[in-house]
Structure 1
């Protein structure tokens, strides 16, 4: 077991790399990412941004809204946004310090500031996602102008436009949903590691990471590495268990989790990691009241920050 960037320095993701062996001594490598909260920067506080900000916040994006009009850039209009900036777009973008983990949507009023926003964005760090609202004809002309100004064609071609997934959206709420669908698609797109398997869940889990980085007492980590059928959690669900049986995180609750805690206590006593095959037939997930009929493979190993 190896943690990379447990403290999530510079806003970069943390990763847990598991080198496992099953009861037949077959080796497998699994990687569990812990992504920082994704920042969604909306450049423009118009009618599309309002529902988009609300929907995105519900899906755990850290929303930042930028507009140069006080009547559009305020907390009354965007109560769910983590930050609302009223400033010139170029200055606001520079102050926000775009990172490779950000999602940026350029949706300025009447497209008046699109070119100015893109000039600043293309000249700096590239976000994970950059989308531009507008017709194909207009964006083709804009991209041609930017390329003639000397901006990298490869960077320009990475811009998602027309923004959103084609669902025939017409109203501001429908357009917001189409954009959000593309954001979810981009956020969820993860490729398999060359040396193993990347687990499905990649949520931040701040309580767990804080516990692991500050805790000095022995504990074991239990991670769901494979599943089949109906289970209460996806692969990548992770739980820490201390010597008293106290837990941080979850691998699904119910009788199955209780069984994993017992195995984790034994792993702490013996110091020997192990793979547990958990049959959840007729088990009931404690939190959801959901009857499960699937199976999970859970890797349990003593945790060390070293």
Structure 2
């Protein structure tokens, strides 16, 4: 794909737009290998207006909602569908002990993280130096300052029931991907009754994960945070969506050097990384990201350097099973298909 397309992707991700990508992974003579069609909300963009008939053959036969699928258009053309989302946003309502460890884990897991609290001593950058945003205000006002969208995850861990209830009611009126509220079963039952009395539906209430987190017998703030993040990760990965690492995307858009984006398209059996893992290899021999490490990554890296010189895209399959794996120093027992996408 050309840099202009990646620039558009960056802009639309920052605007929290819905982005679907169809990538050509097979065509006659590999003339269009790696070329893409973007669908941004209802707008469809193609890379090459001179070959509009080729792209129309694809557009007329695909459903852009079929994310994560490889689709055979005809005997000559195959594409893979992706649904791209921005980095997930975690908004923590409350700046207490649980918020401290939860924010730290969220940043380690590459979430954009916001902490809100109405107390200055609990909502400041000295207390939360790692987070992206700290808001000190009453919870209703603070929630007006955050993004509500399908990539927003909310955890309500304030100092008291009244503030918890205020946050949950505000969040339920907006778009979000996940909502969790801390509390005992008795407190949760009381909150549910209050929501019903205020006209919230059973469907609304079922969106609230309460008590929050996966049941692991957690006791300490750190253990509770582990259970919460585990539940959030489970929700985040429940669906055929992917994202592009911000560092990789920024390098593609703003750096002029030649490069190849290496992406895992398909895996069967066991492999170090899953579908959508990406590594950007640049003409100065540096790279960003990983497709799993080890000898397979080394071989893919060297292939990418060759393709930069040849200025071409390519697809390669790597067999990680039995004797084939031994030759690559691996013992995963699976296969992966990799797209090498030359970026002009």
Which TM class, normalised by the smaller chain length? 0.7 to 0.9
The corresponding residue for 2:9 is 6
Unpaired runs of at least 5, structure 1: 192-197, 285-290
1:154 to 198, 203, 208: 203
Work out whether residues 222 and 264 of structure 1, in 8 Å CA contact, stay in contact via their aligned partners in 2.
no
- What per-residue deviation string (whole Å, max 9, x for no partner) do you get for residues 62-86 of structure 1? 2211111122222333232222222
Match of residue 164 from structure 1? 213
Structure 1 position 100 matched with structure 2 position 142: no
Give, in whole Å, the separation in 1 of the partners of 2:327 and 2:18: 34
**What is the aligned length?**
284
Q: CA deviation at 1:247?
A: 6.1
SS at match of 1:235: coil
2:14 touches 2:86 (CA, 8 Å); kept in 1? no
| Deviations, residues 8-55 of structure 1 (Å, cap 9, x unaligned) | 241346554223238995754423454322221111112222221222
Query: Among residues 106, 112, 118, which one is paired with 2:162 in the alignment?
Result: 112
Q: Which residue in the other structure is 2:65 paired with?
A: none
Partner residue of 2:244? 204
Partner of 1:186: 235
Which residue in 2 is equivalent to 1:259? 303
Q: How far, CA to CA, are the matches of 2:213 and 2:290 in structure 1? A: 34
The corresponding residue for 1:292 is: 330
For 2:327 and 2:243, the matched residues in 1 are separated by 25
3-state DSSP of counterpart to 1:96: coil
Structure 2 unaligned regions, length at least 5:
29-71
Please give the root-mean-square deviation of Cα atoms over the aligned residues, in Å.
Answer: 3.4
> Deviation digits for residues 185-227 of structure 1, max 9, x if unmatched?
1121114xxxxxx6xxx34322332344456787654432123
- Pairwise CA distance, 1:243: 8.0
1:143, 1:16 → 2: CA distance? 40
Q: Give the SS at the match of 2:22.
A: strand
Relative to structure 1, is the Cα distance of residues 276 and 267 closer, same or farther in structure 2, using a 3 angstrom cutoff?
A: farther
How big is the shift at 1:60?
A: 1.5
Q: Deviations along 1:99-132, whole A, 9 cap, x unmatched?
A: 2211101111132312211222222x22111111
The aligned runs of 1:239-258 (5 Å cut-off) are: 239=279, 250-251=290-291, 252=293, 253-258=297-302
